[in-house]
Amino acid sequence: MSRAVSVTSRLSAPRSPEKAGAGVASELGDLPRWDLSALYPGMDSDAYRADFDSIEGRCADFADAWRGRIATLAGDASGPGELDRAIRAFETISETLGRIMSYAGLIYFGDTSAPAHAKFYGDAQERATAASAHLLFFQLELNRLDDAAWGRLRNSPELAHWRPWLDDMRKEKPYELSDDLERLFHEKSVTGVSAWNRLFDETIAALRFEIDGASLSIEPTLNLLQDAAPEKRKAAAAALGKVFSDNIRTFTLITNTLAKDKDISDRWRGFSDVADARHLANRVEREVVDAMVAAVRDAYPRLSHRYYRLKARWFGKEQLDYWDRNAPLPKAAQRTIGWDEARDTVLSAYGEFTPEMERIARRFFDENWIDAPVRPGKAPGAFAHPTVPSAHPYVMLNYLGKPRDVMTLAHELGHGVHQVLAARQGALMAPTPLTLAETASVFGEMLTFRRMLDAAPPQERKVMLAAKVEDMINTVVRQIAFYSFERKVHEARRQGELTSEQLAAFWLEVQEESLGPAIRLGDDYGVWWAYIPHFIHSPFYVYAYAFGDCLVNSLYGVYQNAREGFAERYLEMLAAGGTRHHSELLAPFGLNAADPAFWQIGLGMIEGFIAELESLPD
């Protein structure tokens, strides 16, 4: 249960690819590949071997030094100082483990099809899991202190620096098990959750889709769904549906196994609702999430139903086929945006907001912290990975030169800036709950969009507004529909194994509800749940996108109305990392996510964009 000793690589879940058609490589310019030497010089480097060889002994030595001693510290005058020393040693070990697993994870996701990379990652997981098992006692013993003893330590001056981490840890106390059970869960993860995640990743990477005589991987195939040519969109949808169907037994087995594994864990730990473990990890109250979900679902007719009805009219139809949902507008100019232009666009938007944000973001380009090209075996989508405070974050993209790729770059750089600023909190307190982690990324998108919109000639404004509305629908409506699908899956799995047909029925039900009558969904669309990585890697992650988007819309409204001092408060919020609750972080902006009316502010911005589109000539 301990978050601090997790040895899984803290990669944010890959962003779902909702992007445009494949560009021509020569038009993109020189796309960067990341330089991982800030972590280790190479897979066979002396530095990597030395860290791994030492970490196993350091974990065991830590256990020998501190196991069984925590209960006595609260009663000793020297106890707080001793505990400070123990936490500092714990953080140093956690940072080394994080460095090892960050490197192994980035190597693996750079090419999941390479057997050597898969073995490297798998071996790292096994060894790091075994080593970190020695650390599990630390949080468990701290949380077993009674409230009086805990309070004496927690309030001592010597531990003032660690107070946010200690408070955060205490929230997990009701859900922790015995030492032996925690160790069993921890060690079995290598052959359980982690193994099934790898099977999913490697299966997805190996899929090939035959279109017009070409054999494509999943990323360029998904991108064809936004090609200007209707026949290409339809062909891509047919190929995706066929290959997903051909592999549906594997995806169904993976989903059933992971949902059952989660059910077992939830029952043992005492979580009553299927999403409660995610809410705890996100440090957000169930009532806040429920209020957001209810607000978004209630807004479906005013948002997605209304927009897709408008889009169908633009295409001269009553309904759009599902493969035309993200089609470019009729007669919309299509152009490829080169890498240099994308970089300059994002940096200028960030710089206009505050020079400090641009300065941090520029380092990602100048120091090779980005991996941008599409290539066989590379993980689909995009992510930003903070690695460890003593190094720096890395961003992975699959850049194809379309406007949404620029938005994805802005999104991931928002994560990256956040991660750089939060690193000053140290390995234990830098990690940010997903809900707030998505705030920085979506804010970066909004800054970039607003700058591009302001610079656009009148004839391009409609295209840009429509693209932004579609992005917001994908971020808010689609992600809440995904959350609804996951709830159905995990609740039904408690009653028994699910068939592919049941999963398809759940999927079609939530898609019909969220997209509305202007989108025609065929039975062949029932298998499209299978490729969504969030369902596999991070159950119930998806609502964090909607949380972040609605929150950013509200934040941006504050920024528009009172810019003086906003950037400083915003950067301070990001620099807090995981040290403060969302209510504390939003208070300086006059925002309160616990207020049900709060969510209407963000949803209202989307409605405003749709209304503007309705006022424009067809």
Residue pLDDT, tens place only, 117-152: 999 999 999 999 999 999 999 999 999 999 999 999
Region of poorest pLDDT, from 26-30, 92-96, 422-426: 26-30
Find which of 8-17, 205-214, 458-467, 550-559 is predicted with most confidence, using mean pLDDT: 205-214
Say which residue, 388 or 332, is predicted with more confidence: 388
Task: Identify the sign of the CA torsion 98, 101, 104, 106.
Answer: negative
In this predicted structure, what is the pLDDT of residue 335? 80
The tally of CA atoms less than 13 A away on the side-chain side of residue 171 is: 17
In this predicted structure, what is the pLDDT of residue 596? 80
Cβ neighbours of residue 139 closer than 8 Å, sequence gap 6 or more:
1, 2, 4, 5, 169, 172, 176
End-to-end CA distance of the chain: 55
Cβ neighbours of residue 589 closer than 8 Å, sequence gap 6 or more:
554, 555, 558, 566, 569
Q: What percent of the chain has pLDDT over 90?
A: 84
In this predicted structure, what is the pLDDT of residue 25? 56
Any alpha helices (H) in 393-542, and if so which ranges?
403-422, 434-455, 458-475, 477-493, 500-515, 533-537
Any alpha helices (H) in 25-114, and if so which ranges?
25-28, 46-66, 70-73, 79-110
CA distance 226 to 239: 15
Q: Is the pLDDT of residue 8 over 90?
A: no
C-beta of residue 206 within 8 angstroms of C-beta of residue 113? yes
C-beta of residue 544 within 8 angstroms of C-beta of residue 438? yes
Residue pLDDT, tens place only, 477-528: 999 999 999 999 999 999 999 999 999 999 999 999 999 999 999 999 999 9
Mean pLDDT confidence for 46-51: 96
In which band, very low, low, confident or very high, does the pLDDT at 17 lie, cut at 50, 70 and 90? very low
3-state secondary structure of 323: helix
Residue 426 has phi, psi (to 5 degrees) of: 90, 170
Question: How do 370-371 and 320-321 pair as beta strands?
Answer: unpaired
Q: Which of 252, 251, 273 has the alpha carbon at shortest distance from 262? A: 273
Q: Which of 382, 362, 361, 385 has the alpha carbon at shortest distance from 372? A: 382
Question: How do 320-321 and 383-385 pair as beta strands?
Answer: unpaired
Q: Residue-wise over 351-377: b if at least 16 C-beta within 10 A, else e? A: bebbeebbebbbebbeebbbbbbbeee
Q: Is the pLDDT of residue 11 over 50?
A: no
Residue pLDDT, tens place only, 466-486: 999 999 999 999 999 999 999
Radius of gyration of the CA atoms of the chain, in A: 24
Mean pLDDT confidence for 47-65: 96
Both structure tokens of 82: 């001793």
Question: What is the residue type of 84?
Answer: D
3-state secondary structure of 23: coil
Q: Which of 466, 338, 464 has the alpha carbon at shortest distance from 405? A: 338
Name all domains of the chain by residue range, CATH numbers in brackets.
Answer: 34-171 (1.20.140.70)
CA distance 431 to 606: 30
